[in-house]
Amino acid sequence: MNPLSSKNRKVSLFIVSICLLFYSFKSVLINGDDPFTALCKKSDAYYTYSYKDITYAKEWSGYKKYTSVTNKLVINTSKGVEDYAFLNLNEYESNHLQSIKVKTLKADGTKVKLDSSLVFKRTTKGKKFGEINYPIPAVEPGDTIEMNYVYYERLNKNDLKSYVSLYSDLPSLNTQYTIKTLPDVVLRYKSYNGFPEPAVISNDTLLYAQFSMNKVKGIKKNEFNCLPCEKPYLYYSIDKKGTKLRTWKDVYNEEFNFVTQPFALDYEKFSYYKRWKRKVIGKAKDSSKYYKFNLLHSEVINNFKMGPTRKEELIKSSGYFLKKKRFDPLSIKRFYRQILEDLEIEYWAVFGRTKRSGPISKHYIRKGEFDHIFFAFEDEKKELKLLYPHEDFYQYRIDEIPISIYNSDIILVKPYLTKKRRKKDKFISRNLKLAEADSVSIKTVKLPGMNANTNYLHQIVSAEVNVKLKKTSFKSIFKISGGVSTELRSFYGMLDKNKEVNDFYNALSEYQGVDNTIDIDTITSRTLSSKRPFTYKVRGRGTLKNAITFINDSLVSISLDKLINHNQLDNDTNSSELNYYLDYGYSDLMMFFLKFPNDIEILGEKTANLKLKNNLGEYSFELKKTKNNQLKIKSDYKILKDLIPKEKLIDVKLINEKVKEAKGKRFVIKLKKTKS
């Protein structure tokens, strides 16, 4: 066969394929009676087409990736103008643009081009652009915006991959994602949830793949949605020809060992580790290896600080950090591995994936498959213990894990050892070689999630109402447990690494988005359980503000809108295209005991109590006298499940409406006169 003739046939095939693809797209446009077209016309805006074209080009020892974004957006309503008539670029895109063209096609047939020089004005020479959200001028309902821009990235060979979803906030008649590269590589891809098969063309000059979907519904996402859990998506990677698929042995040898194997380059600091370990273990040298491990782990938790990773410390030994009395997220992984191996505690390498990123794949190991690497081991009772390395702002206890991987699958990988580990298998020395396992065993485990009985936030306030001074002082107990404890303590850690306990309630206010109605001025005690569910208890004193109004010497008004502030699951809609994937189910209890100087009478509503329960959660409100001069207010909010089906979201809305009803109540308390 003539090679030139064969090449021409491949080029002809490429042209024919492109023509067929264009024809199929054109047929979507002209079908005006289609229900999807009617849906598009009813929406605030829609795409007639939305294309993202990716080109990988070889550059020196790496690659250059060009991303071309081409859209044709029809604006239907004034809200469509307000929400979508913008040029939106993130900081990276705005600083790596190669070209940009934006124009508005007016309903009367005129065209208005966007002057990009107005968008990209530099106030200071050499200063980088930030995120850009620039309003496209002269857009009105009925107009169409055509946009194309190209930006580039420089990548190494391990970064030639992506997860592809063809969904956006708006409906689209046709959405495409294409990949073009040189033919000296292999394109591997796997589709999920019914993602359509691509059109692939490979010849002597290029490798081209087109992923396309017609009639793509618009999906508005929120923080609780998991698009890869439900909707079609695709993963692809570009590899050198002849490259084998990754195995868990490869992942263990190349990735786990890279981030966890300790260094042994500085002998002096390396030997300090041994002295430190002997000192901490002390008289417990004859105890079990698990008891010794707990001693060492507790010493780090209680007396060492965490900070960000520093470039100049990347190859320092554990002894170096022990002497500095601090660790960073990388060195703590290496330290944990070192003490596990020193104590001859068998462990697994654990790989996890954030729950809302979609399930982890056991058999087809994608690049970027996992975003959590930690340890697991069995204690003397043969119970599996999880050991998650600290972050620069938060220290995890044994069995404490990030809430983002609650109730998700993890992969446990253990090297198969036929003999005792040698020193070269434990440390990275001057040859900078990583240890290698000949084979590994793997198993899949479901992480615990804990329920609303374990994940809770309880706040109990006992207050004295002083009518003469028009002041309400209180003592309080604030208790958090389970996932709520981990989330709030880590949030607080991000706000203030010094962890001044008197600032704790400032963090609580930011976390819940509430004002300072419960104003703590003194913390009297705090305790944290080191065991699951990590209950954290704070006792304090302070003043109630804004919630109690002194009308006169015998009448007091109570505003529940100020007093009740739950950590509610935000949901203002009756329907959604996606389910809600929460980190955990939880309960939030607020209880107030208000003691008055005289006997009291409750004026106003006779039926104060509320109660609602359904399959997803419950809410109860109770207000009553518990003594002649004491009022009890109890508000209890619960979300019972971490997966809320989209068709059941109305149940969450009903619970939230009950809370709103309770907060809308206002009570007047009458103080009875003291008998003479």
Greater pLDDT, 454 or 514 = 454
Q: Are 224 and 583 in contact (CB under 8 A)?
A: no
pLDDT in tens, 207-234: 999 999 999 999 988 889 999 999 999 9
Q: Are 424 and 262 in contact (CB under 8 A)?
A: no
Per-residue confidence (pLDDT) for residue 13, from 0 to 100: 37
Query: Do 541 and 407 belong together in one domain?
Result: no
Which DSSP letter does residue 356 get? G
Per-residue confidence (pLDDT) for residue 384, from 0 to 100: 93
Per-residue confidence (pLDDT) for residue 578, from 0 to 100: 92
pLDDT in tens, 115-125: 888 888 777 77
Q: Is the pLDDT of residue 434 over 90?
A: no
Per-residue confidence (pLDDT) for residue 614, from 0 to 100: 94
pLDDT in tens, 451-507: 888 999 999 999 988 888 888 889 999 999 999 988 888 776 655 554 454 455 455
Per-residue confidence (pLDDT) for residue 91, from 0 to 100: 93
Length of the chain: 676
Amino acid at site 152: Y
Greater pLDDT, 278 or 12 = 278
Euclidean distance between CA atoms 633 and 640, whole angstroms: 23
Query: Do 300 and 411 belong together in one domain?
Result: yes
33 lies in some domain: no
Q: Is the pLDDT of residue 20 over 70?
A: no
Per-residue confidence (pLDDT) for residue 227, from 0 to 100: 93
Q: Is the pLDDT of residue 536 over 80?
A: yes
18 lies in some domain: no
Q: Determine what percent of the chain is predicted with pLDDT higher than 90.
A: 50
Query: Do 364 and 467 belong together in one domain?
Result: no
Per-residue confidence (pLDDT) for residue 266, from 0 to 100: 67
Q: Which of 319-328, 332-341, 422-431, 628-637 has the lowest mean pLDDT?
A: 422-431
- 3-state DSSP assignment of residue 592: strand
The mean pLDDT value for 48-73 works out to: 94
Q: Is 302 exposed, middle or buried (0-12, 13-18, 19+ CB in 10 A)?
A: exposed
303 lies in some domain: yes
Q: Are 586 and 650 in contact (CB under 8 A)?
A: no
Euclidean distance between CA atoms 269 and 322, whole angstroms: 9
- 3-state DSSP assignment of residue 637: strand
Residue 468 is part of a domain; what is its CATH number? 2.60.120.1130
Euclidean distance between CA atoms 137 and 134, whole angstroms: 9
Last residue of a domain, one of 214, 240, 266: 240
Per-residue confidence (pLDDT) for residue 257, from 0 to 100: 87
Greater pLDDT, 20 or 464 = 464
The mean pLDDT value for 445-453 works out to: 87
Q: Is the pLDDT of residue 513 over 80?
A: no
Which DSSP letter does residue 508 get? H
Q: Is the pLDDT of residue 654 over 70?
A: yes
Angle, in degrees to the nearest 10, between helices 329-342 and 289-303: 160
Q: Which position has the token pair 């068998």? A: 346
Query: Do 481 and 593 belong together in one domain?
Result: yes
Averaged pLDDT score across all residues of the chain: 85
Query: Do 236 and 252 belong together in one domain?
Result: no
pLDDT in tens, 265-313: 666 676 788 899 999 999 888 899 999 999 999 999 989 988 888 988 8
Query: Do 252 and 399 belong together in one domain?
Result: yes
Last residue of a domain, one of 417, 447, 477: 447
Element housing 376 (H / E): strand 372-378
Q: How confident is the model at residue 94 (pLDDT cuts 50, 70, 90)?
A: very high
C-alpha 72, offset from chain centre:
32
Per-residue confidence (pLDDT) for residue 240, from 0 to 100: 87
Per-residue confidence (pLDDT) for residue 24, from 0 to 100: 43
Angle, in degrees to the nearest 10, between helices 504-512 and 483-495: 110
5 lies in some domain: no
The mean pLDDT value for 96-113 works out to: 92
Per-residue confidence (pLDDT) for residue 286, from 0 to 100: 87
* Contacts for 533 with CB less than 8 Å, ≥ 6 apart: 450, 454, 455, 481, 482, 485
Query: Do 206 and 290 belong together in one domain?
Result: no
The mean pLDDT value for 52-72 works out to: 93
Euclidean distance between CA atoms 24 and 290, whole angstroms: 65
The mean pLDDT value for 36-44 works out to: 92
Q: Is the pLDDT of residue 433 over 80?
A: no
The mean pLDDT value for 661-667 works out to: 88
Q: Which position has the token pair 């930690």? A: 374
Q: Is the pLDDT of residue 8 over 50?
A: no
Per-residue confidence (pLDDT) for residue 613, from 0 to 100: 95
114 lies in some domain: yes
Greater pLDDT, 17 or 524 = 524
Q: How confident is the model at residue 524 (pLDDT cuts 50, 70, 90)?
A: confident
515 lies in some domain: yes
Q: Determine what percent of the chain is predicted with pLDDT higher than 70.
A: 86
Per-residue confidence (pLDDT) for residue 232, from 0 to 100: 94
Q: Where are the alpha helices (DSSP H) in 72-145?
A: 78-84, 91-95, 116-119
Last residue of a domain, one of 184, 214, 240: 240
Which DSSP letter does residue 563 get? H
Per-residue confidence (pLDDT) for residue 79, from 0 to 100: 95
Number of domains in the chain: 3
Dig out the tokens for 371 from the structure.
């975003």
Per-residue confidence (pLDDT) for residue 574, from 0 to 100: 60
Dig out the tokens for 135 from the structure.
């309003």
Could you tell me the residue range of the domain that residue 196 belongs to? 38-240
Query: Do 172 and 311 belong together in one domain?
Result: no
Q: Is the pLDDT of residue 64 over 90?
A: yes
Q: Is the pLDDT of residue 253 over 90?
A: no
Nearest by Cα to 584 from 637, 644, 625: 644
Q: Is the pLDDT of residue 424 over 90?
A: no
Per-residue confidence (pLDDT) for residue 429, from 0 to 100: 56
- 442-477 in b/e form (b: 16+ CB < 10 A) is beeeebbbbbbebbbbbbbbebebebeeeebebbbe
pLDDT in tens, 544-587: 888 888 888 888 888 888 889 899 988 766 668 899 999 999 99
Query: Do 280 and 335 belong together in one domain?
Result: yes
Give the HSE-up count for residue 158: Cα atoms under 13 Å, Cβ half-sphere: 6
Query: Do 82 and 182 belong together in one domain?
Result: yes
Greater pLDDT, 233 or 424 = 233
16 lies in some domain: no
Residue 190 is part of a domain; what is its CATH number? 2.60.40.3140
Nearest by Cα to 370 from 390, 354, 393: 354
526 lies in some domain: yes
Euclidean distance between CA atoms 544 and 463, whole angstroms: 8
Query: Do 460 and 441 belong together in one domain?
Result: no
Per-residue confidence (pLDDT) for residue 431, from 0 to 100: 55
Q: Is the pLDDT of residue 23 over 50?
A: no
Euclidean distance between CA atoms 526 and 504, whole angstroms: 11
Query: Do 303 and 433 belong together in one domain?
Result: yes
Give bridge partners of residue 305 from the DSSP assignment.
Answer: 326
Per-residue confidence (pLDDT) for residue 19, from 0 to 100: 42
Q: Are 65 and 155 in contact (CB under 8 A)?
A: yes
